[in-house]
Amino acid sequence: MSNEATKTPAKQGKLSKPFIWFHATSVNGGAMAIAATIASYFSLYVQETIGITAAQLSVILLICTLWDAINDPIMGVICDTVKPRWGRYRTWFTFTPIFLLVDMFLLFSNPGFIQGSPMKKCIYVCITYMFYGMIVTAYTMPQMAILPAMTLDDEERNDVVAKGAGVCALMFTIASTFSTQLVEIFGSYRNLMCFYAVFAIISFWGLYKTSEERYVMPKEKGEGGLKQLVYVFRHKEIWPVMVVWCLAAVSYGFMFTSSVYYAQYILAGQRVDFATMDEAAIGATIGGTISTYMGFISMGALISMVVLMPIFLKKFKTGYKAMIISQILTIICYVILYFTGRMNFMYCCILSFVATAVGSMVNALVNVLVNDTIDFIMLKEGKQLNGIISSVKGFAQKCGNTITNSGMLAILAICGFDAQLGPFGQSQTAVTGTNMVRFLVPALVSAAILVIMIFYPLKKYFPEIAEMKKKIAAEHEANGAE
């Protein structure tokens, strides 16, 4: 093993507190607040503010997320092939968050030159949203790859993943629940998103400063380019894991994106009394319904990441076992809610909270599977492909995002949903479709994840992987002592 980023021998098994903090708050801090806002409110923002229809936005998101998925492996190849002066992975932390700030300014603008032209509006949103996806890829892949390059200890890795999940849940709680109020404070979505981006810049720069590439194997001559993907895809054990990465993104994405629609177009309608409420009271009821329901969802995610996920990992030791239990509980809650969620508002909020508390951790537990896969490929191929594997995970996740974004909007469009008709003008089929994308689709996705995790293909290699990591650690310590 060699250290490309520094000549100073690193102490094995000890991650600094600043590194853990900045790793947790980089992708999962300000950048995650942006992602949460986009996941929960962007589609409605674009339809209501810029004037793009659900069908048009469905096509835009399909194009952007497909390209986003395709460029992930390209980014992984670059990370594992190019050797910048400041580190194979660390270098990307210096400039990508600056691009994020610029794109947030553009993405949440409604410039005059696109007014009056549906085509210009679609092109503008498509370009700025596509760049957002590329920027996220450029900082997410290295951030995932740096952790296994810093430590070989599974407990340390799981601890960092769990802390990052906690920060992720906190930022999701803030962004999903209080975005309406925060927009009023900051004056616009654009100002709020730029504020989040500044926070991301600080965190990524801190991660660059506190990280080292301790366990980075030198590359053999002629070993570069997309052919490195062969080392991953030729193992049949990896394919089911990729499917789980994809489905986890679908599950998590539907959980939040569909919640806003469900609250506004189903729950709010049940709480409005046209006979006694004026227009202002109706608006306040709709806004209060969305905030209350999203508050329960966000708090469920916070409890899931901060409290339940560390307990699950400690109790069940491995990520795949924790996922099995969480998905069983999630399926039960969603099936009940699909049939009974509209019976009572508070009942729906409480059971949705429980469903989110047991289900949200899937989005973080898949990162444990990334570390399992990195170790598996090192065992089978003798090659370190942190960036490649992280990018394959990103590719699968973006495929899931494509299904979430375009799939949900497509289902709603087929069912006759039209945002311009408001919460009280939707047809019965549109209401049925909204209920379906909120609960039935995620339940089916969780069922598929459960089946794959029961037969998790990497678990039989765990003893061999443990022996391999002992040898690597011993070699690293011997080289450091020389």
- The pLDDT score that the predictor gives to residue 226 is 60
Q: How far apart are CA 307 and CA 122, in angstroms?
A: 42
Alpha carbons 143 and 10: distance in angstroms, whole number? 19
Total number of residues shown for the chain: 482
CA 150 – CA 22 distance, rounded (Å): 14
Q: Are 244 and 327 in contact (CB under 8 A)?
A: no
- Residues 87 and 89: their CA atoms lie apart, in Å, by 5
Q: How far apart are CA 14 and CA 214, in angstroms?
A: 11
3-class secondary structure, 274: coil
Q: Are 377 and 383 in contact (CB under 8 A)?
A: yes
Q: What distance in Å separates the CA atoms of residue 482 and residue 470, rounded to the nearest whole number?
A: 19
Question: Are the CB atoms for 76 and 231 separated by under 8 Å?
Answer: no
Q: The tokens 């539907």 sit on which residue?
A: 254
> How many whole angstroms separate alpha carbon 240 and alpha carbon 248?
12
CA distance 171 to 287: 20
As a whole number of angstroms, the distance between CA 369 and CA 243 comes to 12
* Alpha carbon distance 35, 331 (integer Å): 25
Contact criterion met (CB below 8 Å) for 42 and 409: no
Q: What pLDDT score does 108 carry?
A: 93
* Continuous H helices in 151-188: 154-186
* Whole-number Å distance between alpha carbons of 267 and 421: 16
Q: List the structure tokens of 131.
A: 């760049």
SS3 assignment, position 216: strand
Question: How many whole angstroms separate alpha carbon 201 and alpha carbon 96?
Answer: 8
C-alpha distance from residue 322 to each of 12, 248, 313, 315, 453 (Å):
27, 14, 6, 8, 10
Residues 249, 240: Cα–Cα separation, whole Å: 15
Predicted confidence at residue 396, as pLDDT, reads: 86
Three-state SS for 14? coil
pTM for the full predicted model: 0.70
Q: What is the pLDDT along the chain (482 residues), one digit of tens a residue?
A: 333 333 333 344 478 999 999 999 999 999 999 998 987 788 888 888 888 887 888 889 888 877 877 777 777 777 767 777 787 888 899 999 999 999 999 999 998 899 989 899 999 999 999 999 899 988 988 888 888 888 888 888 888 888 888 888 788 778 877 888 898 899 999 999 999 999 999 999 999 999 988 877 666 555 555 667 788 889 999 999 999 999 998 998 888 788 988 998 899 877 877 778 888 888 888 888 988 998 898 889 889 988 999 899 889 888 899 999 999 999 999 999 999 999 999 999 999 999 999 998 998 899 889 889 989 998 998 887 877 887 788 788 878 877 887 788 888 889 998 877 878 888 899 999 999 999 999 999 999 999 999 999 999 999 999 999 888 878 777 765 45
